[in-house]
Structure 1
Amino acid sequence: MPQQVPKPGEFRVSDLSEQRATPFDLQPDAAMRDAIGAQLTLSALRKLRFTGEISPAGARGWTLTAKLGATVVQPCVVTLAPVTTRIDETVERVYMPADYFDHHEAGAETEMPEDTSTEPLGHIISAHAAMIESLSLALPQYPRSQEAELGEAVFAEDGVTPLRDEDTKPFAGLAGLRDKLDKKS
């Protein structure tokens, strides 16, 4: 069986130096940015750069450290107008052999580990996959243009006084009462 040639941004663990860091600089072209933007349901992905290094970590692990820089365009959640966001993030992933992780029986309860940056080590470390995952996690969940105003939606049956946001805040009137009492004193 022929060995699979790694794609750009992928590194065979067997080819990595155990003595020094292996640098990388991923700058996808326009077609690749368009494909990534479509995958992440962005209106546009104007710039994307992922630069860093993969270095040995301990006896059998590897650490990927990188800087993610991107300019993304998403629709505003209120007006659907385009919202441009600049993302600058530091990324760190630790890859450890499978025996590093606790193995549990299928269906058994497990707790979420505190360290979510550690991943199982395979034959290949993909800086490309780490770039897309990091970009996905850094995206604003609810992008909003500066002109967008949420306003207030009021719903009630005919003849019924609608319940407003102020009505659901029982302590809001206390400030006014306190001010009245202070004036009398």
Structure 2
Amino acid sequence: MNSDPSNTSSSALRVAELPQNRPTRFVLVPETKVLAEIAQELGVDGLRKLRFDGEISARGKRDWTLKATLGFTVVQPCVVSLEPVTTRVDTKVERLFLANVETPEAAEIEMPDEDHVDPLGEEIDPYAVMVESVALHLPQYPRKAGAELGQHIHAEPGTAPMTDEDTRPFAGLADLIKPGDKDT
């Protein structure tokens, strides 16, 4: 299946029409305009070379599995210098669409270990899974090579500035204990 990535509803596959005895293949390669829209939605400077290639197959009688390879290049600002940082991400994506997903009704619930489980609806949308997977695999703290935080100097008006070393409460203890002054 080659979906038109500019139309998100065209990539959604009706579960009732999926064959049970063989996988349904899909390949999504969004065009430049769609990449710009996804980048804006995710709050990144740029997105290139996005490809989502995989298959949806039956898992038992009522459940489905989506397995795919996700690859993309993202441009984000460096957390230190705000200069653009380009990162390539290639990863595997797996989602389980289960007909019966238990939803706890307690006020406080524990997060499940399996974060790749989704409730099965009438459709499985590879485009939506692709966009969500890109968001989940974005580098959290992109850093340009060689970018370093400088030393932060703390000072109130009229006082001597403190360096990062001065803010460590036990930094001076090493000077107090000299090798020959051991008290036993």
Q: TM-score, normalised on structure 1?
A: 0.83
Quote how far apart the aligned CAs of 1:102 are: 3.2
Structure 2 unpaired stretches of 5+: 1-7
More helix by share: 1
Cα distance change of structure 1 residues 168 and 59 upon mapping to structure 2, 3 Å threshold: farther
Question: Amino acid of the residue matched to residue 115 of structure 2?
Answer: T
Superposition pairs of residues 144-183 of structure 1, within 5 angstroms: 144-169=143-168, 181=179
* Alignment match of 2:44 (pick from 36, 42, 45): 42
Superposition pairs of residues 11-160 of structure 1, within 5 angstroms: 11-97=13-99, 99-104=100-105, 108-160=107-159
The residue matched to 1:7 in structure 2 has which SS? Answer: helix
Query: Residue 9 of structure 1 corresponds to which residue in structure 2?
Result: 11
Cα-Cα RMSD: 2.5
Query: Residue 3 of structure 1 corresponds to which residue in structure 2?
Result: none
Quote how far apart the aligned CAs of 1:172 are: 5.3
Quote how far apart the aligned CAs of 1:133 are: 0.6
1:145 and 1:127 map into 2 onto residues whose CA distance is 32
> Contact 2:153/2:164 (CA < 8 Å) preserved in 1?
no
Q: How many residues align?
A: 175
Render the CA deviation track for 1:24-44: whole Å, top value 9, x for unaligned: 110111111111111112211
2:176 and 2:22 map into 1 onto residues whose CA distance is 69
Structure 1 unpaired stretches of 5+: 1-5
1:103 and 1:20 map into 2 onto residues whose CA distance is 34
Question: Amino acid of the residue matched to residue 56 of structure 1?
Answer: A
1:149 and 1:76 map into 2 onto residues whose CA distance is 10
Tell which deviates more after alignment, 139-148 or 126-135: 139-148
Tell which deviates more after alignment, 21-30 or 167-176: 167-176
Cα distance change of structure 1 residues 174 and 89 upon mapping to structure 2, 3 Å threshold: farther
2:75 and 2:173 map into 1 onto residues whose CA distance is 43
Render the CA deviation track for 1:77-104: whole Å, top value 9, x for unaligned: 222211110001111110011x331342
> Contact 2:71/2:89 (CA < 8 Å) preserved in 1?
yes
Sequence identity, in percent?
A: 50
Q: TM-score, normalised on structure 2?
A: 0.83
The residue matched to 1:165 in structure 2 has which SS? Answer: coil
Quote how far apart the aligned CAs of 1:76 are: 1.6
1:170 and 1:65 map into 2 onto residues whose CA distance is 52
